[in-house]
Amino acid sequence: MTKLGGRYMAIKVIFNKKIKKEVLESFDKKIDDEGFIVENITAESALTNRGEKIKIEEFAGIKKGSEIFIKNDLVSLIDFVKEFYDEYKARRENVQLCE
């Protein structure tokens, strides 16, 4: 949600298959013959934080500062948001402790 003119508006970001491929190429990844995301050179599978292989259709993004891939299913997105919130909360607590 973002505030626009005193109102909160939902922001929706949509990746089509072409954009997903461009994002993956910038991380030296490609799609194998079965539709899984793999390393460009070694063909090693890209993995989620749960150690799962991920298909292009499931790809929702890559966690900032890592190469942890996020699936577009509800459980994966909830895990990502919870982890992001926990990290944010820990940083805020550290800042308050240092003041």
pLDDT at 5 over 80: no
pTM of the model: 0.64
Instruction: Output the DSSP codes for 14-66.
Output: ---HHHHHHHHHHTTEEE-TTSBEEETTT-PBPBBTTS-B-BGGGEEEE-TTS
> What's the pLDDT score for residue 83?
82
| Tokens standing for residue 65 | 């500062």
In a domain, 2, yes or no: no
Cβ contact 61:26 at 8 Å:
no
Residue-wise pLDDT tens digits, 28-79: 999 999 999 999 999 999 999 889 999 999 998 887 767 888 888 888 888 8
In a domain, 42, yes or no: yes
In a domain, 25, yes or no: yes
In a domain, 9, yes or no: no
